[in-house]
Amino acid sequence: MTQILPVVFDFLTEIENNNNREWFGRNKNLYESALTNVQNFGTALIEGISSFDASVGDQEAKKCIFRIYRDVRFSSDKRPYKTHFGLYIAPNGKQSGNAGYYLHIQNDMSVLAGGLWSPENKVLKKIREEIYYSPEELVQIIENKEFTSAFGGFMDNDSLKKPPKNYPADFQYVNLLKYRHFCVEKQVANSEILAPNFLTKCIKTFKLMLPLVAYMNEVIKN
């Protein structure tokens, strides 16, 4: 059974406390051991997800994992390294702009997430038009009892305070038009991640996200 090993959190704990190039250079073997474990887990995860979403079956785990190096050019936070591993599995890859499945591993801040984060403006416009003219399909997905029990509603990061321009405030589902992101998430504890059944839990959770991911990718495609 493929599983996340303690070395992953060993590295993440250390990089939280020693976020500098000198420490990283001396301990790169610890990072590489953790990365290899996450990559192996990712390979098994892609295989599991592709059993119900064939559109991601050709993805390689190493290409789904985000770089550990932070872009500090325009940030006041100059720490050079991220303190988490992020793995995004989506049709045509993590930079495709497609909806997909995201595993975020961070000490006491890990999540399983899915959907579409920060779509470009033309895609966001298409989604809002689809919601406005044909809201039933998305509403049925997000109001499904099993879906709401697992995730609640969409993450409301950066939501608009008012309806977007040219949309009426009295539209029945106007709150859906205010979202900039169409993602759901489920928090997971360190102990859950290290458990032997975490891969099974991931696959089960991501399968619940499939209708949302498929819906968003269909809107993007059309």
Domain boundaries, the chain: 6-221
Cβ atoms of residues 180 and 118 within 8 Å: yes
Cβ neighbours of 158 (radius 10 Å): 10
Mean pLDDT confidence for 8-22 = 97
Q: What pLDDT sits at residue 157?
A: 82
Q: What pLDDT sits at residue 124?
A: 97
Q: Rounded to whole angstroms, how far apart are CA atoms 20 and 185?
A: 30
Q: Residue 74 — very low, low, confident or very high, per pLDDT cuts 50/70/90? A: confident
| Residues ≥6 apart with Cβ < 8 Å to 136 | none
Q: What pLDDT sits at residue 114?
A: 98
Q: Rounded to whole angstroms, how far apart are CA atoms 163 and 176?
A: 9
Q: Which amino acid is at 75?
A: S
What does pTM read for this prediction? 0.96
Q: What pLDDT sits at residue 53?
A: 98
Q: Rounded to whole angstroms, how far apart are CA atoms 171 and 132?
A: 8
pLDDT at 214 over 80: yes
Q: Rounded to whole angstroms, how far apart are CA atoms 95 and 93?
A: 6
Q: What is the pLDDT of residues 115-124, one digit of tens each?
A: 999 999 999 9
* Tokens at 190, concatenated: 């360190």
The CATH number, out of the four listed (4.10.240, 3.30.930, 3.40.50, 1.50.10), of the domain defined by the range 6-221 = 3.30.930
